[in-house]
Structure 1
Amino acid sequence: MEFAHSPRTQDLIKRVRQFMRERIAPVEAEVLQAQRAAAHGGDWTRWQIAPAVETLKAEARAAGLWNLFLPDAELGAGLSNVEYAPLAEEMGRSFLAPEIFNCNAPDTGNMEVLWKYGSDEQKARWLTPLLNGEIRSAFCMTEPDVASSDATNMQATAVLDGDEVVINGKKWWSTGIGHPNCRFVIFMGLSDPEANRHQQHSMVLVPLDAPGVTIQRMLPVFSEYDEPYGHGEVHFDNVRVPKSNLIKGIGKGFEIAQGRLGPGRIHHCMRCIGAAERALELLIERGLTRVAFGKPLLQLGGNRERIADLRIAIDQARLLTLFAAWKVDKIGVHAALTEISAIKVVAPNVLEQVVSEAIQIHGGAGLSNDFPLTALYATARVLRLADGPDAVHRGMIARVELGKFGSLVKQAGVRA
């Protein structure tokens, strides 16, 4: 594995940093404050996109800082996972940057699904406007009435009926569905309960304006609504869409999910590392400029050692994530399942640890909205559940590890 970034990646890092410093940072606090005030009005249907964000999106696209995540040289930047990873880290330092560069989840994952598995018709109708930043999308998988950490528990259905797919069920934590430009979701549902366990489910494209689709509410995270994206509870009542809206075909849901979640988890983890770097910087700045008991805060109570531990943890998480990205690039997602699960455990936990220490140094200010720490903490805590909770990923790692001791495991009567 080569540790040095490629010349092209180094150039993009420099340009992304400069754009974020000169164009995004000066307006971010004002935009976020305005969005938060609108959300607290209680009516998510009135959420709006700040004009500054749309202006910056146009500037980013004109500067060639657009669709950097997509490994297609014609439609995106054509970068590998290793090349894109440090750019995702830079974007993780900002709450606005991912959308401004058209690299925000869940749209990136949905675009990758359509790019890799979509038909020409699906690409023309949905992928092209997503790539242009004209519309947004959501992903409907998690359900309120079952333990969704086991995706095979899914009760919502997507059943063929002639030339149509009939969709029924409830989904929630559908991130991005409150965005004013959200136009469709990728829905995953049970199609054939008699099929093999991982061939029972399908993914289907569902326009939000289809009859029977109802957004019931937006779910707050620690009393905040993550405006203007939101996390919605959505009900599907006998929704009918053309059979051509199926992605790849009946029973391909889990196959698609594996292809979608591998790169997506790398993106999440690198953004976590960027957020952790920002939190550490805030911790150090606060600790150097605030005095208590006659000394800067960093000279008190073992805070220097805490800084050292946090630096070690961030760098370890980064190296493990880059290794996972390298392995995905070289031999594919299925060969890197252990590493992908490992980073999904490590990176959000490291971010949570760093932010917690930063909040402690800031005292009461760290609990307010004067600093971004509560929002960063919420991000970390959410990601310990999103895309699979920690326990599921640890279980997968253990299963792979035990599989290396086949005969001994069998002899012990342990299920690998």
Structure 2
Amino acid sequence: MSQKLFGTDGVRGRANSWPMTADMALRLGAAAGRYFRRDQQEHRVVIGKDTRLSGYMIEYALTAGFTSTGMNVFLLGPVPTPAVGYLTNSLRADVGVMISASHNPASDNGIKLFGPDGFKLSDEAEAGIESILAKGVTPAAPENIGRARRFDDARGRYVEYAKTTFPRGKRLDGLRIVVDCANGAAYRTAPEVLWELGAEVIAMGIEPNGTNINLECGSTHPEAAAKKVVETRADIGICLDGDADRVVLIDETGHVADGDQIMGLIASRWAQEGRLAGNTLVATVMSNLGLERYLNDQGIALKRTSVGDRYVVEEMRANGHTLGGEQSGHIVMTDYATTGDGLIGALQFLACMVETGQKASKLARVFDPVPQKLINVRYDAGKAPLESALVQEAIAKGESELSSEGRLLIRKSGTEPLIRVMGEAVDPALLDKVVNRIVEAVRQES
């Protein structure tokens, strides 16, 4: 196999095209099963999925692969990605699998793998699985083939756990909450948790049909939820993505707060309470310069990593930090979850509302962001726009013009054929000129 299988967040691609084919899912399941099944004792894997039509095909193919190497499979059905991390550890499984392409359209799908501790696999583990896949997998003897069963209580277990992360003795009574579940994995989970904690819930994006996940809804399209918040005079809106590991919030005026604002609030509150380990927030290079300035003013450090929640988590685990995330809405709180958890992140924000009595609009804008512009440019397979002399010249010129007044970040997406062109600058006019020039150069070479 000449192409690298794993990207920045597992395996991802267009359904029924390489690498998201039934054949590859079967082989990947077998390779992962062989990697984790090192002896003849009983071994188990939990498999969850979001609501994409292709999830059925991939789920059954993975099941065949895992059972062929002697792994027993627990099928969780549609559950959020963080629920898979939680249940992998809770059920003492050797490996967990989430079938999802997160915020991508329904035509895509992906496979995310978790180790027995509930955390996403390391680069070394993924390389080990790819090596086994390339060499071919030795199947189990007929008498050692694994079994598969539906695990009907997966959602209920996660609902009960999520509620325990909300402050003991506190309730959401009196709060009207709009929650947009993106027609995805949390379409039942999120409304249940909020209702059971006492909120009046107005649920959107709860009618998945296999093809409408993330379709003009959820964290990447919060406009409909913002409109609903204003129309219904709700106190807050919560927008999740397809697998519910991301969240953006909407205050009562309809203003959208991204992950940077949410992390800023939680970091500040935890620091005041003495709960912020190392007095540090871990975020990526995409987080706004305004967040960094806000934290530094409070004596809180900001550590930046490469883009991808897995790199945030690796930094957190390596240095004992407990709060991190991404501007896109991945909020990672290792006291509560092993990966980004949109629902639990929202519950932490709601806890601040309940404990302070303040409106969402007061809490959802803790800093003034430095003007930031991000444009995604799709490129053709086989081309390398960032290696073009034209693009490199445009980038160099932009960096010179911004100098100390801003910064540029140009990179390839790890999950889609996109070049992401991001810039920040105090002067919005200069920012527009620099970013637009680079985008035009990338488009010419794409």
TM range (shorter): under 0.3
Q: Which has the higher helix share?
A: 1
Calculate the TM-score normalised by the size of structure 1: 0.27
